[in-house]
Amino acid sequence: MIRHTIGMAFIWLGMLFNFFGVLGLLRLPDVYSRLQAATKCITFGSAGLLFGVFVLKGFTSFGFKVLLAIAFIFLTAPISAHAIARAAHRSRIPLCPESVVDLYEADHELKEEGRHASS
Amino acid sequence: MRILRWLAGSIVLGALAVLNFFVFDGPLLVKLINVSLFSALVVLYRVVRGPSPADRVIALDILGILIIGVLALLGLYYDQGFFMDIALIWALLSFVAALAFAKILEGRRLDD
């Protein structure tokens, strides 16, 4: 009984995280802020939901597959998010007009200047 | 105008939540699957209308992670384990597709 309660609590928590992450994906003004909201919220939300399913199912083959899926999500979601953000910045997709600083661009320019000075 | 849009969105979301949790008569897991599928529908809106290609790639990546949760709940509802196999393969293919799309978006070729 208490296992059922804990598992359903984790599933509700993960589902709420998913829903608010999707709202952020819908409402935010910019590629990068959308990426930030969606990736963090939905990675943690799906991992919480899967952990709730693992608590409900226990140590069966279903449960071990769920643990494998959690490990896979935690390994791959930040990698793909980082790759997409870097590609978007390199293909000159602009930031939203309200943004004040772009440190990645400044860092890139500094690196280019250093390369020209050394060669 | 802004307050009107917030009000309309809140009314639509509240009506959907009431319809799902109080009017619709079904098991609790089916209601949770309904909420996750509605989230996937919102992500599909971003795929169709995203202003830049990066938005579409992000939304497809996110859709893959959402579908893993939906498949886990479906497997819990039907009490069968092969749904998690489908979820693992979907996660792997979504990851590889996101990396390939990022490489194409950056202007490089795939065998680079």
Q: How far apart are CA A13 and CA A10, in angstroms?
A: 5
Q: What is the mean pLDDT of the segment spanning A2-13? A: 92
Q: Which domain holds residue B96?
A: 26-105
**Residue whose entry in the numeric block shows the structure tokens 């489908």:** B86
The number of folded domains in chain B is 1
Chain B, nearest residue to A81 by Cα: B58
Query: Is position B13 within any domain?
Result: no
Query: Is position B11 within any domain?
Result: no
The answer to whether the Cβ–Cβ distance between B105 and A69 falls below 8 Å is: no
pLDDT higher than threshold 60 for residue A119 = no
pLDDT higher than threshold 90 for residue B7 = yes
**What is the residue type of A69?**
A
CA angle A45, B50, B8 (to 5 degrees): 70
Q: What is the pLDDT of residue A52?
A: 93
Q: What is the pLDDT of residue A118?
A: 65
pLDDT higher than threshold 90 for residue A38 = no
Closest by Cβ to B88, choosing from A11, A21, A68 = A68
The answer to whether the Cβ–Cβ distance between A34 and B85 falls below 8 Å is: no
Q: How far is B4 from chain A (nearest CA, A)?
A: 15
Query: Is position B110 within any domain?
Result: no
Q: What is the pLDDT of residue A110?
A: 76
Query: Is position B6 within any domain?
Result: no
For all residues of chain A together, what is the average pLDDT? 87
Q: Strand (E) positions, A1-119?
A: none
Contact (Cβ atoms closer than 8 angstroms) between residue B31 and residue B21: yes
Q: What is the pLDDT of residue A28?
A: 86
Q: What is the ipTM of this complex?
A: 0.86
Confidence bin at A10 (pLDDT 50/70/90): very high
φ, ψ of residue B95 in degrees (nearest 5) = -65, -45
List, for residues B46-103, the tens digit of each pLDDT value.
889 878 888 888 888 889 899 999 999 999 899 888 899 999 999 999 999 989 988 8
Query: Is position B19 within any domain?
Result: no
Query: Is position B5 within any domain?
Result: no
CA angle A74, A77, A81 (to 5 degrees): 145
Confidence bin at B106 (pLDDT 50/70/90): confident
Q: How far apart are CA A15 and CA A10, in angstroms?
A: 9
Which carries the bigger pLDDT value, residue B77 or residue A111? B77
The answer to whether the Cβ–Cβ distance between B98 and A80 falls below 8 Å is: yes
List, for residues B17-37, the tens digit of each pLDDT value.
899 888 888 888 899 899 899
Provide the CB-side half-sphere exposure for B77 (13 A, CA).
Answer: 16
The DSSP H or E segment spanning A48 is helix A31-57
Contact of B20 with chain A, judged by CB distance below 8 Å, is answered with: no
Q: How far apart are CA B26 and CA A64, in angstroms?
A: 29
